[in-house]
Amino acid sequence: MRFRGSVPSLFLALLVVGSAGGCKLVKNSADADGGQDTEMVSSRPGGNMNVLVDEIWDAKVVPQLRDHGTDMATLAPAIASDLQAAGEAHGYRPSSEGSPWNFATSVKGRIVAAKTDTRAATADVDVDGDGKADAILQLGPLIRGTAMRDVLPFIDFTSFTDQIEFAHLSRALNTKAYETALKDLPRENLVGRDIEAFGAFTMRGQGDKLLVTPVQVTLSAQ
């Protein structure tokens, strides 16, 4: 997977007004990234972010992360070795140099620890078989961060009214991830179970935890 920086405004060629929530789509005339969905999504002033997310979730968000995610078994050592190189090879950042790298990923492994006595519940996953956690899956209901919004190449701040609306979009995406992928997951007896998930995470620095927000999860039987 290879994500390259933001879509320059001079390539925004076709504006299509959506039918619900005041949404609009801007067609990118240059799609050079191997089939990635780059049809830009935005909202008019007063647009309902929950409606927008409902519209794009199954059609755009989940396929983007499922089809363009890099296996965590590849990502984790690459990031540990050189975050910048890993970002250039596998990541995406929607703005200028120095912004955090965002990664779409698939996580497949065994749960070695779980913290479920909090609204910000998590599960630690070993993906390389050494018994140690390589990634942390957010289980919610409190989902931290903006990785879900910032990893998507068809979403850019300049297409939204202001920072407040952009923040509402992030919360709507996190809520949708919880409601569709995480809400019905058990919170007991997770350790020792195999799990597979597709999601996204953000790296602001070399030492950051690999904290993944899943959009799809498959959990083995006990």
Residue 1 located in a structural domain: no
Mean residue pLDDT across the chain: 84
Q: Is residue 178 part of a domain?
A: yes
In a domain, 3, yes or no: no
Which domain does 191 fall in, by range?
9-219
Domain assignment present for 4? no
Q: Can you tell me the distance from the alpha carbon of 48 to that of 56, in angstroms, rounded to the nearest whole number?
A: 13
In a domain, 90, yes or no: yes
Specify whether the CB–CB gap between 190 and 115 falls below 8 A: no
Q: What is the 3-state secondary structure (H, E, C) of the chain?
A: CCCCCCCCHHHEEEEEECCCCCEEEEEECCCCCCCCCCCEEEECCCCCHHHHHHHHHHHHHHHHHHHHCEEHHHHHHHHHHCHHHHHHHHCECCCCCCCCEEEEEEEEEEEEEEECCCCEEEEEEECCCCCCCCEEEEEEECCCCCHHHHCCCCECHHHCCCHHHHHHHHHHHHHHHHHHHHCCCCCCCCCCCEEEEEEEEEECCCCCCCEEEEEEEEECCC
The per-residue pLDDT for range 143-170, each reduced to its tens digit, is 999 999 999 999 988 778 788 899 999 9
Domain count, the chain: 1
Q: Could you tell me the pTM of the whole model?
A: 0.81
Q: What is the pLDDT of residues 42-59, one digit of tens each?
A: 775 567 899 999 999 999
**Domain-located, residue 202:** yes
In this structure, the number of other CB atoms found within 10 A of the CB of residue 30 comes to 11
* 206: pLDDT strictly greater than 90: no
Q: What are the φ/ψ torsions at residue 148 (nearest 5 degrees)?
A: -60, -40
Do the Cβ atoms of 104 and 65 come closer than 8 Å? yes
